[in-house]
Amino acid sequence: MLEKNGYTKEVDLVVYQIQIPDPIPEFYMKIYERAIRLNHGLHVLEFTSRRKVKPYIHPVLHLLNETFTEIFGFIPFTEAEMDDFANRYLFLINPRFIKVVVNSQNEVLAFVIGMSHIGEGIQKAKGYLFPFGIFQIFASARKSKQLNLLLGGINPEYRGKGLDVLMGVRMLKSATALGKTTIDSHLELENNTMVRAEMEKLGGRVYKRFRVFGKVLN
């Protein structure tokens, strides 16, 4: 129907489903150990409270602005939008699913954010947070076996140095500890071969595909 009306493909985005391995494969742990040796002086921050996450919200989103410049359709966050993003979503995200890599000056070099799948809770709440919807959503997050990856980025100067694996192993361990069995990669551009290779290295398979259509208007 879209093509008959003059629309053509702009780009496809794929979503991977990954079965969380337990234990983590030996080959992946060897890459992780090598990344630790190569990145002496860098630290992976892990969180147990939202209060401790707050100082890193703006640095993380500033890094997102820097690293997503070539991502299709991306519009950088303003300072006000960063605050709005934090107010909207932070209370829903388990801080254990946030990993941040910093250097000795505590500068953010990389990050990844995940979130328990809450689709069932939103359906039960029929889209309303109050008066009881919020409790249904939180219950859904606790019971869900799926972890959804939301956002991630690495400073261009540190790409190819294993920071993705440093965070990935920590995320897999947190997911297993909290009862998750699968990961949804969220949307990945079809031509993002680097990220797609990481997903496939862990046995991920494409189980959703989205297409962006475009049309030239005269």
Give per-residue pLDDT as tens, 175-216: 999 999 999 999 999 999 988 998 998 899 999 999 999 999
Q: What is the distance between the terminal CA atoms of the chain, rounded to a whole angstrom?
A: 20
pLDDT for position 209: 97
pLDDT for position 16: 98
pLDDT for position 73: 85
What does the domain layout of the chain look like in residue ranges? Answer: 3-214
Task: State pTM to two decimals.
Answer: 0.91
The stretch 10-23 carries a mean pLDDT of 96
Residue 129 has pLDDT above 90, yes or no: no
Residues with Cβ within 8 Å of 149's Cβ and at least 6 positions away in sequence, in order, are 112, 113, 114, 183, 184, 185, 186
Mind listing the pLDDT tens digit for each residue in 68-122? 888 888 999 999 999 998 888 888 899 999 999 999 999 999 999 999 999 999 9
Residue 20 has pLDDT above 90, yes or no: yes
- Domain 3-214: CATH superfamily is Gcn5-related N-acetyltransferase (GNAT) (3.40.630.30)
CA nearest to 98, candidates 77, 81, 115, 79:
115
Residue 130 has pLDDT above 90, yes or no: no
Mind listing the pLDDT tens digit for each residue in 27-78? 999 999 999 999 989 999 999 999 999 999 999 999 999 998 888 889 999 9
